[in-house]
Amino acid sequence: MQSNQHPHPHIHPHDGHNEEHFESSDFLKDIVIGMSDGLTVPFALAAGLSGAVDSTKIILTAGVAEIIAGSIAMGLGGFLAGKTETDHYQSELRREYYEVNHFPEVEKQECREIFEDLGLSQNSVDIIMDELSKDKDKWVKFMMRFELGLEQPDEKRAMKSALNIGGAYIVGGLIPLSTYAIFNDVKTGFMYSVVITLIALFIFGYFKNKVIGQNPLSGAFRTMAIGAAAAAAAFFVAQWFEHM
Amino acid sequence: MQSNQHPHPHIHPHDGHNEEHFESSDFLKDIVIGMSDGLTVPFALAAGLSGAVDSTKIILTAGVAEIIAGSIAMGLGGFLAGKTETDHYQSELRREYYEVNHFPEVEKQECREIFEDLGLSQNSVDIIMDELSKDKDKWVKFMMRFELGLEQPDEKRAMKSALNIGGAYIVGGLIPLSTYAIFNDVKTGFMYSVVITLIALFIFGYFKNKVIGQNPLSGAFRTMAIGAAAAAAAFFVAQWFEHM
């Protein structure tokens, strides 16, 4: 559920090698998004119920229902968000072509401002604008990327992304639940669930932060802390709620 | 949990009015992210448990634990992702300054390629590069934005965003749970929960898609369909699991 505040991947449009790097980082990002929530939310839900009910069957049923609900919400939600992004790109593209054809002077002025903001002189901007406005495809491409900040979305990504995120959520969610199935006792299941999930969050946080070039150790502690905070809060609120 | 595939907001760096529009759309995006998952996952969890247990207290306890866990995972996760983005921007900024100072020719070549890709002639690119490389701050700013696709993140946003997303998740999650508390009977609570949550998802989907400029009616049906699919899947899997 960490949503759209992840660091933007680097965009190197001219370089085949880097585009590959870009794709593999999309895959990793999907896994990170799915797995960090999958490890955290079913873990915290199970921990919360452990403070309130005494049947592992209820905890496992709730956990499985949550994993199904969460993976569908994340996967399908991600898929439809990807479709929306594609639609949005296409409609903005049509609008830019329309504006370039019907209000070229307005568009030229918007374009000039981008270059002037970079500190280029009037003379240079004149030269650039003369060349850029000759080729409407290039001009629109420039406006899409540098005025609107939009890159052409990859349509196939939406489906792949949905499966990656949903799958990672399921895998992550089964880890904290597994101990309740193994020990068939709420207290023991809870204890081991806390231990293995915090270890899993630590390892996951370590590699996640290594991949994005951040300090892996502090990232590992941070990731573990979110999971622990969510589980502790769910535990105490559920207990309070049950005794109300 | 829909994550980072939402349409990019428009970036109009030179225009005060549009920056305001950008900020308010950040707020709306937070609400959309939190509310769409808040309406979907606790709804589907409660629906799933309705097919497997006969106590509204268990459903409410699980639902409340899920809302706490989900809002913390989304809110805190979003906050830390925002901090990571800020760190990432700062470290890339340092690297660009380092490269501009120590390998100016390599950086110039990378910069040239961006302009050449727009179809500008060698002559224009020469003029631009002469001017751009005179002011290192402008040059680095250009590389950050147009080579790496990075905008300076707003540090205050991370905390605001966490509260918006977490709060919207809680508000969204209380809607499907409320009927179980009101009717104190699983079947009746479930029935009314399905009705009011599907209506809420429809209304929410309508306005969400209106705001992002998509067809509101098809967006409303799409949003409702995700919630219904998640709830139906959770219901049948939990029932199957309970009877296993």
Q: How confident is the model at residue A24 (pLDDT cuts 50, 70, 90)?
A: low
Chain A residues with CB-CB distance to B1 below 8 A: 1, 3, 33, 37, 70, 73-74, 77-78, 165, 169
Chain A touched by B93 (CB under 8 Å): no
Cβ burial of A191 (10 Å; 0-12, 13-18, 19+) is middle
B45 in reach of chain A (CB within 8 A): yes
Answer yes or no: is pLDDT of A40 > 60: yes
Average pLDDT, chain A: 83
pLDDT for residue B18: 41
Q: Is A105 exposed, middle or buried (0-12, 13-18, 19+ CB in 10 A)?
A: exposed
Residue A44 has pLDDT above 50, yes or no: yes
Please report the pLDDT score of residue A1 as a whole number.
40
Whether B38 contacts B168, CB under 8 Å: yes
Polymer length of chain B: 244
pTM of the entire predicted model: 0.77
**Range from A168-182, A214-228, B210-224, B230-244 that averages highest in pLDDT:** A168-182
d(CA B46, CA B38): 12
Predicted pLDDT at B24: 62
pLDDT band of residue B167 (cuts 50, 70, 90) is very high
B237 vs B76 pLDDT, higher one:
B237
Is residue A111 over pLDDT 90? no
Closest by Cβ to A41, choosing from B8, B70, B213:
B70
User: Which residue of chain B comes nearest to A70, CA vs CA?
Assistant: B41
What span, in angstroms and rounded, lies between the C-alpha atoms of A2 and A31? 12
Per residue in A133-159, is it b (16+ CB within 10 Å) or e — as a string?
A: beeeebbbbbbbbbbbbbbebeeebbe
Average pLDDT of every residue of chain B: 83
pLDDT of res. B29: 81
The CA distance from B48 to A64, in Å, is: 9
Q: Distance between the two ends of chain B, CA-based, in angstroms?
A: 30
Q: Report how far residue B186's alpha carbon sits from residue B180's, in angstroms, rounded to the nearest whole number.
A: 6
Whether residue A3 is predicted with pLDDT greater than 70 in this model: the reply is no
Q: Could you say which of B4, B33, B49 has the minimum Cβ distance to residue A65?
A: B49
Cα–Cα distance, A56 to A45 (Å, whole number): 13
pLDDT of residue A172: 96
Average pLDDT over residues B117-137: 81
Under the banding of pLDDT at 50, 70 and 90, the label for residue A189 is very high
